[in-house]
Amino acid sequence: MPVTFETYQYTRPEFDAFSDTFRQSLQRFETARSYEEQDRALSQINELRTEFTSMYNICHIRHTMDTENEFYEKENEFFDQQMPAYEGLINDFYKKLLASPFRPALEQKWGRQLFTIAEFSLKTFDESIIGLLQEENKLSSQYTKLKATAKIGFREEEHNLSTIQKYEIDRNRETRQAAAEAKWGFFVGHAATIEDIFDQLVKVRHKIARQLGYKNFVELGYARMLRSDYGPEKVANFRRQVEEYIVPIASRLYERQRRRLGLKNLKYYDEELRFPGGNAQPKGEPKWIVSQARQMYSELSAETREFFDFMNANHLMDLETRPGKATGGYCTFIGNHKAPFIFSNFNGTSGDIDVLTHEAGHAYQVYSSREIGIGEYNWPTFEACEIHSMSMEFFTWPWMELFFREETDKYKFSHLSNSLYFLPYGVAVDEFQHYVYENPEASPAERNLAWRAIEKKYLPHRNYDGHVFLEKGGFWQKQSHIFNTPFYYIDYTLAQICAFQFWKKDREAHEQAWADYVRLCQAGGSLSFLELVQLAGLRSPFEDGCVASVVDVITEWLDSIDDSSF
């Protein structure tokens, strides 16, 4: 019988037994009399961690595949409770690692980044906060479950937050407006619950930060993200560059869109319809899309052919939406099978191709670095991770005709425009999170007002057409990252600037650009963000002038396209 994801064995870890075994290995690590002896103990520790995180990831995948499955619901609750204790064990390991008398030899084998990760991780954990971390996990899961159970009635059909999207880009304006109002009706109906969950999350995160000796959660949030070579000041400067260079370009693109659609005013429910003839759509069903993707990755390179065949043969993709399935898309890694897993919710829009190539970028990276041999290096820090995914979206451009046929140029124009449109929204989410955690006592209403003010700064074109909930600042409540992975969102924008650089290089010299990309993927998480950027031959997005340099080339390309013909 072939080993596929369906046959991957899941067993709930016996945490007390696991903890005892882990501590024994840690004792051997601490009392080792030679580097060789300590390195063997480190290998045992790595094997134990890989087994535990593999069970966690199999549980997480199966829970998100069907949030109504009672068995995996209970298993998910188990991990919500046990992950903080597991983190405590890892914390003890990091303390011993940093105190090792054989550190120079270990550093020579594994590199400096492992020790940087250890140093930052020690700043984010203490045994005294385990109860608070459990509460944080529980609240985060509540938000995910709430969104997954959305049942939206629209035109005598029941939809979830994924399937309603196809009506939000319908060519008929009344349909778009009605679909948008139906979707936002779900958030209006659950606003009090969502705001309460978030209010509790903010307060518990602030309490954790204070207990660890931080002024507020901003400092702790950056430490959790392992941001070793930049801080809030550099991020604020990056946001300023986006406001200065990108916001005016995005506004001009929205104006082009308004003219294309023949509208007097572009309303919020018009934004996602890019063309009067409708957005580009893939020309087949999910299975057909996967077969086209297989051809694409076979032709892109020998490395991607091997990778995608592995994903296909082992059933490591769950792409279609269905009732009870969690929203969104992600890629994770099951270490004991050395297997990436791609999760998404196809809905018949061009976003299906975007999410496939995006998550395949993540999956290809972790597949490329799966033999490094230490869990810390499976993935780099988040902003570096997003370079792989966003750049893969562009490296696959020459094969878009496989999916879009005669609408390929329309898709490319839209894809590049969307990448620019995203940047102001991405930094708005980041600025909002800084406000939230710098003002933990703000009321839900004050948070909504703050969002609306930030939105007007970065998205000045946005017209909510009198929708009360959105006018009062409720839009942010749909963004899962704000709830589940605080301070993550800026990572997409930093990576987007890096991906734009790859797009530019790929057009000039494909072989060199692809070689740089493969080298970046193979490095995994063995270097910090700015070190990885340098390894890939890219400019730091924080560097003054970097944003302007890539945007100029992109706007030149967009301006050369006659979008009135779409």
In this model, does residue 493 exceed pLDDT 90? yes
pLDDT of residue 416: 96
Name the pLDDT band for 105 (thresholds 50, 70, 90).
Answer: very high
Q: Which pLDDT tens digit goes with each residue over 30-65? A: 999 999 999 999 999 999 999 999 999 999 999 999
Angle between helices 408-438 and 490-508 (to 10 degrees): 150
Q: Which pLDDT tens digit goes with each residue over 204-249? A: 999 999 999 999 999 999 999 999 999 999 999 999 999 999 999 9
Comparing CA positions, the residue from 464, 563, 555 lying closest to residue 257 is 563
Q: Which pLDDT tens digit goes with each residue over 273-320? A: 999 999 999 999 999 999 999 999 999 999 999 999 999 999 999 999
- What's the whole-model pTM score? 0.92
pLDDT of residue 1: 64
pLDDT of residue 327: 87
pLDDT above 90 covers a percentage of the chain that reads 95
For the chain, the distance separating the N- and C-terminal CA atoms, rounded to the nearest angstrom, is: 50
Determine the 3-state secondary structure of 183 from DSSP.
helix
State the CATH class of domain 226-282+406-566. Answer: mainly alpha
Residue bearing tokens 């572009």: 266
Name the pLDDT band for 503 (thresholds 50, 70, 90).
Answer: very high
* Contacts (Cβ under 8 Å, ≥6 apart) of 210: 216
Mean pLDDT of 524-533: 98
pLDDT of residue 317: 98
Q: Are 434 and 231 in contact (CB under 8 A)?
A: no
Q: How many CB atoms lie within 10 A of CB 277?
A: 13
Question: What distance in Å separates the CA atoms of residue 321 and residue 64, rounded to the nearest whole number?
Answer: 11
In this model, does residue 2 exceed pLDDT 80? no
Would you list the domain boundaries of the chain? 5-123, 226-282+406-566
Amino acid at position 480, single letter: S
Check the CA dihedral 198-200-204-206 and report its sign: positive
Average pLDDT, the chain: 96
In this model, does residue 428 exceed pLDDT 80? yes
In DSSP terms, 331 is beta-bridged to 342
